Structure 1
């Protein structure tokens, strides 16, 4: 892919997301609201690998737009190899694979000489296919909405983050390294407490002792909004993996997101990449007995 094609690609994808935001839809906030699909990260159904970064946003957006009932995907050739096929006339969704290579294959070359490249692939939702094996198309049980979600409580506990409950504000304080959250019963819809909790835990993951992101941006600045998008995406990714559906719409953020994305066409690519890293970092604290944990209870007046 030429340099000009890469630039156009960044702009094309950013334009698509800005258009969705201008229509009042954030694909990372409500990827499942208008469909029968349960909340989950997109998955390649033949390899078992979850998509990450910008691909999550692109595939979530397609699910929402087309009303697909699944977050499971595969390529045309993968469908054929398992005895299925893509139905005639179906339109695929483009996803991307980014990596670097050193000219001549010399591993000893300096990292600075590595050349980035971007490859495109077209994938199809299993709803667009037929004759796939039953184990690829079976329904996935969804978690009913409830005030206390044991696996989410367990994950918050397992991170070891200093989470202080109380007051009427939610924030992460980098220097003392703690999270402040309002009590869950202060929320009109209590399931949304988890979105706030993992949003702030996303900021916590960026501390210099963890993933070392730049958390120095002042309110309203480019750096601040860039980190806010990372935190929003991280929360969306973690909640999807935990099978939790929040209802909050984030209308207060959308105007700022549009301004940032129009200013920097690479912003959403960087945010999605950093959010995938943060979500993986947080989710790595999960344990097999997470569902047995007691509700989160650390309280500060």
Structure 2
């Protein structure tokens, strides 16, 4: 990699700061000129897998109307092809293992009788950052029409976006007090204050405001215990605002209700300053925003319920996206499984193999882990000196 390569978080910070200065960031312009949401939650159409918060921001900031994103290899394996001259969007993920060719003592690849190179899985002691380029469905040929894909995706969804938002708020059990003209979270009283619904332009705007304040509510010491010190207008105050704003984007995209930051002008200059002076703060912001979204959307509970309801095993025909390729299950025998990757390499995996465990995890828990999440515990939280958050 070139010595001049700028780390991905820094690239994201630069782009986001530039968009804020131009007045067209996701915070400032939640709806595009075509009337569609500026942010569409990215997903892998083969697995239904979503991406980590930072990668979600990177992909969402491309402003595509189609939520589907895949690598060129995964797209080709699914029977789709990248259109000529299209450029991929780089994301970053933690790589915990690598598949390497088995070689002789003098470095020659060992092949089987069919001429296929034999491989082994090497597990890393620590996750290593790895990059991949993804392409949006709008950049691919021969892919299912978006309307058809969305119809299939929404088949099991019986609630409207408004109903889902209302249920999310109800399920949170947060104390919400209606009245007045301000929307904010009072951390001393651990209560959200909102104007009456009739004060908003429509129901959607009300629920968008409520979700934003609910994001602040998660920071209480009895929940995610985030530092929320600083007076209105300070950099510390703005750090919390950025976390809530990104979380509201993620949640609004998941519920398909959209987001609206509302009174954003007071925070934008501080956002730019933070992004410029501390470009890697966006990594922490994204990680905290993911925790907020997980808590409010109940993702952890859903995952446990899904795992408990399904038998933990492989089925012939399973297609599992893992790292930068997709594995297809060709055969199962006892607890072993025969798979083929996107390049046509085949192998038999025993239950004690690292790749076997990783593919099983990827099938039943399709998510991207963030590097360094365990390294956040050194923060010292001082006593909060202001009560109203998110005004």
Q: TM-score, normalised by structure 1?
A: 0.78
Report whether the alignment pairs 1:138 with 2:148: yes
Identify the match of residue 78 of structure 1 among 74, 77, 83. 74
Partner of 1:161: 174
Q: What's the offset of the Cα at 1:28?
A: 5.2
User: 1:249–1:174: structure 2 CA closer, same or farther, 3 Å change rule?
Assistant: closer
Mapped pair 1:90 → 2:100: no
Residues 21, 254 of structure 1: 8 Å contact kept:
yes
Structure 2 matches for 1:150-299, cutoff 5 A? Answer: 150-246=163-259, 250-252=263-265, 253-284=267-298
Instruction: Provide structure 2 residue ranges, at least 5 long, that are not aligned to the other structure.
Output: 98-121, 155-160, 303-391
Check 1:105–1:117 CA distance in 2 against 1; reply closer, same or farther (3 A cut).
closer
Residue 270 and residue 123 in structure 1: after superposition, are their counterparts in 2 closer, same or farther (change >3 A)?
A: same
Partners of 1:229 and 1:210 in 2: how far apart?
18
Number of residues of Structure 1 aligned to a counterpart in Structure 2: 269
* Structure 1 position 83, deviation (Å): 1.1
> What RMSD, in angstroms, separates the aligned Cα atoms of the two structures?
3.2
Deviations 1:108-131, CA, capped at 9 Å, x for gaps: xxxxxxx56321110000011012
Quick one: higher RCO (CA 8 Å, sep 6+), 1 or 2? 1
Look at both structures and tell me which one has the larger radius of gyration over its CA atoms.
2
Contact 2:96 2:124 in 1 (8 A): no
State the match for 1:12 in structure 2.
Answer: 11
Matched, 1:122 2:128: no
Instruction: Name the CA shift for 1:59/1:9 in 2 (closer, same or farther; >3 Å).
Output: closer
Q: Deviations over 1:141-172 (max 9, x none)?
A: 699xxxx9222111101111111111111111
How far the C-alpha of 1:248 sits from its partner, in A, is 5.7
Check the 8 A contact 2:245/2:261 in 1, yes or no.
no
In structure 2, relative to structure 1, the CA distance for the partners of 1:251 and 1:218 (3 Å cut) is: closer
Which sections of structure 1, spanning at least 5 residues, go unmatched?
108-114, 288-301
- 8 Å contact 1:234–1:279 — kept in the other structure? yes
Structure 2 counterpart SS, 1:124 = strand
Q: Which moved more, 1:208-217 or 1:184-193?
A: 184-193
Separation in structure 1 between the aligned mates of residue 6 and residue 264 of structure 2, nearest angstrom: 29
SS at match of 1:90: coil
- Cα distance, 1:69 vs. partner? 2.6
**Alpha carbons 2:28, 2:264 under 8 Å: kept:** no
SS at match of 1:117: strand
Q: TM (normalized to structure 2)?
A: 0.61
